[in-house]
Amino acid sequence: YKTINKIGEGTFSEVVKAQSLKDGNYYACKKMKQLFKSDRKSGCLALICELMDMNIYELIRERRHPLSENKIRNYMYQLCKSLEHIHR
């Protein structure tokens, strides 16, 4: 991947826009800031994700109406399934 530009930063990671050298498509590359324990010697952990138009904070901030109960229920379900998956 080739880094294009920085698009965000949080407590635990930095997000950059990256271009795949294989297919030429653009992705979001989330680089973890601190890695305390790893079986790899490179010392760098990065997640390649779909490139979105905005982040979650911007999405929430721009909302003009409260989320519906069904939407909240769906988000909570996805969150719980994600937690279940990472704790296997």
The boundaries of the domain holding residue 54 are 2-86
The total number of structural domains that make up the chain: 1
Q: What is the pTM assigned to this prediction?
A: 0.62
What pLDDT was estimated at residue 29? Answer: 94
What pLDDT was estimated at residue 58? Answer: 80
What residue spans of 13-68 are helical by DSSP H? 56-61
List binding-site positions for ATP.
30
On the CB side of 27, CA atoms within 13 Å amount to 17
Q: Write the CATH number for 23.
A: 3.30.200
With a cut of 50, list the residues of the chain below it in pLDDT.
Answer: none
Phi-psi region of 45 (alpha: psi -120 to 50; beta: other; left: phi over 0): beta
Determine the residue type at 57. Answer: Y
List binding-site positions.
30
